[in-house]
Amino acid sequence: MKYHHLPQALFVKNRAKFVAQMKGKSLAVFNSNDMYPIGADATFPFEQQRDLFYLTGVDQEESVLVLFPGAVNPKHREILFVRETNAHIAVWEGPKLDKDQATAVSGIETVYWTHQFESVFADLMSEADTVYFNTNEHYRQAVETETREERFIKKVKKQYPAHTVAKSFPILNEIRGVKEPEEIDLIAHACGITEKGFRRVLGFVQPGVWEYEIEAEFLHEFVRNRSKGFAYTPIIASGYAANILHYIENNKQCEAGELLLMDVAAEYANYSSDMTRTIPVSGKFSERQRQVYDAVLRVKNEATELLRPGILWAEHHKEVGKIMTAELLELGLLDKADVQGQSEDRPAYKKYFMHGTCHHLGLNTHDYGALKTPIKANMVFTVEPGIYIPEEGFGVRLEDNVVVQEQGAPKNLMKSIPIEAEEIEELMNKRTV
């Protein structure tokens, strides 16, 4: 891995939080992700199943975690299974974790080879009444591929029909949503790498450059700072393309006078940052572009201030909608008749601001975290309002990553990333390219 060694204590704490909510005489199993084929002999780069990583820090294929706090043998209350290496694997793929290294990463003392899993698991199931399965129940999940975890669940249900089944997701959704200090530091580090990329791009963008060239500038800076690269597929959208919320073609030439919306950010150690900035291709906002830009910035700042412990996620967005409505009226995009004719299900502002304001951020860009219960301190959110005006050929979105505090306004992890229009213009006009 490119990233520096992570503190073992983080994963020890995470497991303790999970185990504390397990039922008696129960065990939980977490499987790594598959290696997914592309075709012929090619595979996609391996991405670890985020729950397994959260609980162990192990970033390697064919790994399995078993948590069984009530196991008769104390050695079996935490068990990590890792792939056994050999000389052939070492030559062709490089070294894998040995047992001591797996313990050093995870803090788990009992480590077996993955090929030993079946026999050990059968013995443990003779002691357990309940097995926790790790199903993906994220509110945005849309997975069509049968995963390693799902194949495992099918097999266990068939082999052990008398056992009670429980779900890991409700526990993980709660505990992963509230970040440990070490996790906040990792997200902040990812934000710092993102800042380096953005500052590089400010000196690069000018009329005539291509969107994919800008993407390449970001990637260069991310990788040279120990990131795998993008935390998600980057959006580099010039001109009208900014009105396409998930524009990822990044294949247009940037033209003079256009705005350039960039929703692009780095990961670090599997933790995501998530930034959006909108800049003038020519280095100077037009009067109208500046009006809209400043409006979005005001909404972002006010939305951030409102993000406090105790508020409901959905209610927060409603309040932001009121702020956005006032700005759209001032911009002449809405009038009083639009507002009077709106409904609760279809507020008038949705014509120009059609997505949500915030989402959880962490090991996933759209991370786990409770949405139907009050927001808690140390949750990490994006704040990302936007105004999209197809009829004027541009859109503006601004996005920062913030940590909810016990008292006061959230801490902005992207505070040092330029966002004020004057600073953007100043930095762009210092370019030497």
User: What's the pLDDT band for 19 if we cut at 50, 70, 90?
Assistant: very high
Domain boundary among 149, 176, 203: 176
Looking at the structure, tell me whether residues 107 and 256 fall in a common domain.
Answer: no
Residues 58 and 162 in one domain: yes
| Strand partners of residue 263 | 235, 276
User: Which residues contact residue 312 at a Cβ distance below 8 angstroms, ignoring those fewer than 6 apart?
Assistant: 372, 373, 374, 375
Q: Examine the domain organization and report whether 323 and 374 are in the same domain.
A: yes
Same domain (yes/no): 166, 186: no
- Whether residue 274 is found in the same domain as residue 150: no
Q: Name the residue type at position 136.
A: N
Write the pLDDT tens digit of every residue in 372-431: 999 999 999 999 999 999 999 999 999 999 999 999 999 999 999 999 999 999 999 986
Neighbours of 232 (CB within 10 A): 16
The CATH number linked to 198 is: 3.90.230.10
Residues 87 and 216 reside in one and the same domain:
no
87, amino acid identity: A
Instruction: Specify which residues 236 forms β-bridges with.
Output: 262
Give the tens place of pLDDT for each residue, 303-343: 999 999 999 999 999 999 999 999 999 999 999 999 999 99
Tell me whether residue 147 is in a domain. Answer: yes
Point out the residues that are catalytic.
41, 246, 263, 274, 355, 359, 366, 384, 388, 397, 399
**Residue 3 falls inside a structural domain:** no
Domain co-membership, 298 together with 408: yes
Q: Is 59 helix (H, G, I), strand (E, B) or coil?
A: coil
- Residue 134 and residue 167: Cα distance in Å, rounded? 6
**Does a structural domain hold residue 337?**
yes
**Per the domain annotation, does 303 fall within a domain?**
yes
Q: Are residues 160 and 193 in the same domain?
A: no
Q: What is the pLDDT of residue 431?
A: 64
pLDDT at 54 exceeding the cut of 50: yes
Tell whether 74 and 119 lie within a shared domain: yes
Segment 217-227, tens digit of pLDDT: 999 999 999 99
Residues 351 and 311 placed together within one structural domain of the fold: yes
Q: Which of 148, 176, 204 is the last residue of a domain?
A: 176
Domain annotation covers residue 2: no
* Claim to verify: residue 233 and residue 132 sit in the same structural domain: no
Closest CA to 275 of 328, 204, 324, 222: 222
CB 34 within 8 Å of CB 62? no
**pTM exceeding 0.95:** yes
Complete DSSP assignment for 224-240 = TTT--SBSS--EEEEGG
Distances (CA, A) of 299 to 105, 132, 273, 327, 355: 42, 42, 21, 8, 14
Can you tell me whether residue 413 is helix, strand or coil? Answer: coil
Shared-domain flag, residues 359 and 329: yes
Final residue of a structural domain among 119, 153, 176? 176
β-bridge mates for residue 379, sequence order? 178
What is the domain range of residue 367?
181-428
Query: Which residues, in sequence order, are CB contacts of 112 under 8 Å at separation 6+?
Result: 79, 80, 81, 120
Q: What CATH number is associated with residue 143? A: 3.40.350.10
Structural domains counted in the chain: 2
Say if CB 366 and CB 50 are below 8 A apart. Answer: no
